[in-house]
Structure 1
Amino acid sequence: ASTDRMIKLWDIDGKRLIRDLGQQKDMARSALFMPDGKTALTAGDDGEIVLRQLSDGTVLHVFSSGANGGVRQLKISQDGKRAVSGHDTGSVVVWDLAKGTVLHVLPGHDWSVSSVAISPDGTRALTGSIDGELKLWDIVAGKQLRSWHGHDRGAYGAVFLADGHQAVTGSGDYTIKLWDLDTFKEIRRFDGHSGTVYALALSADGKRLGSVSLDGTARIWNMDTGAEIAEFDPGTGPMYSVAFAADGTLLTGGIDRTIRDWPAAGGDGTVLFAGAPE
């Protein structure tokens, strides 16, 4: 997904563009594979969530958020039954993907939603906004479970841990925090970034945390101790996206329009794609 509104499908192994899948009507902010591997959900500032067929880009369904405004964040439950979208109006919308309908509109945040995560069992969502407020929701019943001021600035990159009782969040206050979602207390802090922590990712075994920041660096952290394992600084400006590959390497995307692959133990990265959409 890109600021140019285009949705593109890439072959990672072949390092090539497979096809354009169409475009949003405004800036595209999210592009997520559905569990079936044959379709994807995309969303953006136009307020529309679009189900697209990967084979040819055919639009299968359009979920319109109506008065809830542009979609800033979008996540799909692991079973593919629900999606949760966070909007620039502060609204949080829960979707039934099978029926293509709205389950709940949760008007909880006073400011734009900047982060959304869904628990592994698909029953709860954690959202953050640009004022640093965090909210935990029961997305089955459609009710707020807790609200607390988690950060001094915007909250970004929320991720649930595998047990569903803990989560991590990054922030414009430069911190990463691990939260106990039963007591709503901070368990641990990961300090080191000197700019907004924009995105987070957990390794498959849950032992490592990847982060990227507007300070231009990516980092890998030990989840048990909070210690920094590795820092990567290509010197090319802010980074916006992060994920762990199946082999444990870290993937990052940034303002330089590259996607890079970084070794888990540290060292020089490899440019996988150059000139990708912004």
Structure 2
Amino acid sequence: MSSFAKKFAQLSLSDQRTILIDPRVKAKIGKWKPFYKRLTDFNFIAAKINHSDFGVQSLIEDYDLINDSELLNKPEYNAEQVKTLKLIQGGLRLSAHILVKDKKQLAGQLWGRMQHFDVPEIQAMLKVAKQQQVLPWLRPLTSNLISPGGSLLLTLSGHSHSVSAVALTPDGKKVISASFDNTLKLWNLETGEDERNFKGHNDRVTALALTPDGKKVISALADNTLKLWNLETGKDERTFKGHNNRVTALALTPDGKKVISALADNTLKLWNLETGKDERTFKGHRDSVTALALTPDGKKVISASSDNTLKLWNLETGEDERTFKGHSHSVTALALTPDGKKVISALFDNTLKLWNLETGEDERTFQGHSDWVIALALTPDGKKVISASFDKTLKIWNLETGKDERAFKGHSGSVTALALTPDGKKVISASSDNTLKLWNLETGEDERTFKGHSDFVTALALTPDGKKVISASFDNTLKLWNLETGEDERTFKSHSDLVRAVTLTSDGKKVIFASSDNTLKLWNLETGEDERAFKGHSNWVRATALTPDGKKVIFASSDNILKLWNLETGEDERTFQGHSDSVRAVALTPDGKQVISASSDSTLKLWNLETGEEIATFTGEAPFECCAVAEDGVTIVAGESSGRVHFLRLENV
């Protein structure tokens, strides 16, 4: 513990408060150097985050004082130092959603985001951060997390399932998100805080629409209903029933009095928000209606459908005035230009099209995504469009040239929805990785082929002599192959579901198979006999790891836990609990004393094998898919579903 930390801990709470509020006090009297020193001091940063009266957001707000008029006019004010403070603030903001839940990850997050910055104060801050760690921690060896200064500004984390829709309040300060976890959330974009939860849905929320005054929100559910919510009170004011199929999209008239719903039964409905009545049904599509867009005057609506067409409807008469044909795939999203003269459509074939509403002509096709486009948003000037795709990226396109001007990468799951801030400078994206992100728009030989399985192969294990290989398949079997001849020497059948993981005992005589039927089996490779079944997981086993002595095995499961089993007795000796999502991979340190687990909850955890205690945690940007420990026992390599690879070092173990 540093002298600062020791002295700080001995102070009274009131004296601690005085020190922690110091940047604001110093700023008010116009002192630049003390202000700068505090906000580049790791000990100060850690103390403020850990103090019960302050926290991450209070610290982030301190950095905003660099724009204080008194400081700006001081002769010692330094523009380069301002850049440094903005980088540190940006790093803290990017990690805020993690630090709110786990303050112990401060050092790891700063190292993962900032060690590549060649700034003396930042390097000094990181050095102190390393020195101050007395407990075991996972230190990134490279800047393996998203760095400050880029397009990503903030991540909002809190939903327990995919985020399906987002809507911004008119002032651009808050955003409402809808999720497949059956809830809505109201977020503050300045603080990143979840201000209100709207609970009451009994099914997935599929779409959202905000009233023009920003006081109410309509949500669509997979149970075929709509709900009207009061944003100030959080109350459910009205439920709209009458649909006979799920609602896929919503659009509000400009006066906020009526809402149009798009349905999977090929129709649209017009609802009166005051009376709750269904005023009109629009029929004409031959397949599900997938998206809606209202003309600026609120008199017409464009619908997109899985029948590969768009239709222009008159809301007063209910007539289908024009059908736009030319798509070869389902239309997934729509966006109208501000003048109401053109519409952009997104397709299942990964492209976008620009249509002229007056002539019905297809003016331009935009190609570049590697998976289908699910959402669109136009910039206020109508010159550019942002697209969200299942390829996990967003792209900004120039409508005049058709060029892809920028790609935004950072989500670990499909991007499902978009919302632009009123000034057109930032965009919020929602994803199946359960998060929302705020972005700044400006700123070898095949020697042999082994055929025999009837479904794809999920795991492999080599015998110690390197002459044979065992394969596991989704056809519920395992096969023993001779690498020299390519022959299938033995097939192991017994599992009632997909085989997902294979582990060989150290002598190469036995093999453990993990299956989606929630069991593990120990097989004798020479006899082909099933010697033992291990039961105890409530969900399928994803990964296994053998202790160095070959006597015990660790199983990782989709039930979010790890289990340690004794191979001789078949007993479940220990359960490791702490992950909030599936454990996808495990790796043992060479001495067999610690185990690393990689999870879909985007964390790596270090465990003590003897006690079952969680020693350290590191949170990445996306679900972890794999992990490995080097022979030195302290270097960890882990891979994310995003494609990012992390290199970390076990410290203080």
TM-score higher than 0.5: yes
Q: Give the letter for the 2:208 counterpart.
A: L
Change (3 A) 1:268 1:37: closer
Deviating more after overlay: 33-42 vs 259-268? 259-268
**CA separation in 1, counterparts of 2:326 and 2:291?**
16
Whether 1:55 aligns to 2:190 is yes
Whether 1:255 aligns to 2:395 is no
1:88-237 matched pairs, under 5 angstroms: 88-234=222-368, 236-237=370-371
Paired position in structure 1 for 2:206: 72
Aligned residues: 265
**CA separation in 1, counterparts of 2:282 and 2:339?**
29
CA shift digits 1:1-37 (9 cap, x unpaired):
xxxxxx9xxxxxx652212212212111112221122
Whether 1:267 aligns to 2:402 is yes
SS at match of 1:66: coil
Query: Any gaps of 5 or more consecutive residues in structure 1?
Result: 1-6, 8-13
Note the aligned Cα RMSD (angstroms): 1.7
Paired position in structure 2 for 1:239: 373
CA shift digits 1:110-143 (9 cap, x unpaired):
1111111111110000001112121100012211
**CA separation in 1, counterparts of 2:323 and 2:268?**
16
SS at match of 2:349: coil
Deviating more after overlay: 231-240 vs 81-90? 231-240
SS at match of 1:19: strand
TM-score norm. by structure 2 comes to: 0.39
CA shift digits 1:169-194 (9 cap, x unpaired):
10110111010011111011111211
Q: Is the contact between residue 232 and residue 266 of structure 1 (CA under 8 Å) also seen in structure 2?
A: no
**CA separation in 1, counterparts of 2:168 and 2:201?**
23
CA shift digits 1:218-277 (9 cap, x unpaired):
011112111111111226221111121134112212122222222222433123312434
Larger Rg: 2
**CA separation in 1, counterparts of 2:267 and 2:312?**
15
Q: Give the letter for the 2:300 counterpart.
A: Q
Q: Give the letter for the 1:163 counterpart.
A: D
Paired position in structure 2 for 1:4: none
Q: Is the contact between residue 231 and residue 266 of structure 1 (CA under 8 Å) also seen in structure 2?
A: no
CA shift digits 1:189-217 (9 cap, x unpaired):
11121111111011111111011011211
Q: Give the letter for the 1:264 counterpart.
A: L
Higher strand share: 1
Q: Give the letter for the 1:62 counterpart.
A: N
Identity of aligned residues (%): 29
CA shift digits 1:142-178 (9 cap, x unpaired):
1110123342111121111112121011011011101
Deviating more after overlay: 150-159 vs 121-130? 150-159
Whether 1:32 aligns to 2:32 is no
**CA separation in 1, counterparts of 2:228 and 2:215?**
10
Q: Is the contact between residue 397 and residue 405 of structure 2 (CA under 8 Å) also seen in structure 1?
A: yes
Paired position in structure 2 for 1:10: none
Change (3 A) 1:235 1:96: closer
Query: Any gaps of 5 or more consecutive residues in structure 2?
Result: 1-96, 98-148, 415-653
CA shift digits 1:68-103 (9 cap, x unpaired):
x11001111222122111110100112222332222
Q: 1:22 aligns with which of 157, 161, 178?
A: 157
Q: Give the letter for the 2:393 counterpart.
A: T
**CA separation in 2, counterparts of 1:121 and 1:238?**
33
Q: Is the contact between residue 201 and residue 221 of structure 2 (CA under 8 Å) also seen in structure 1?
A: no
**CA separation in 2, counterparts of 1:209 and 1:81?**
28
Higher helix share: 2
Q: Give the letter for the 1:187 counterpart.
A: E
SS at match of 1:99: coil
Q: 1:81 aligns with which of 206, 215, 238?
A: 215
Q: Is the contact between residue 175 and residue 197 of structure 1 (CA under 8 Å) also seen in structure 2?
A: yes
Q: Give the letter for the 1:250 counterpart.
A: V
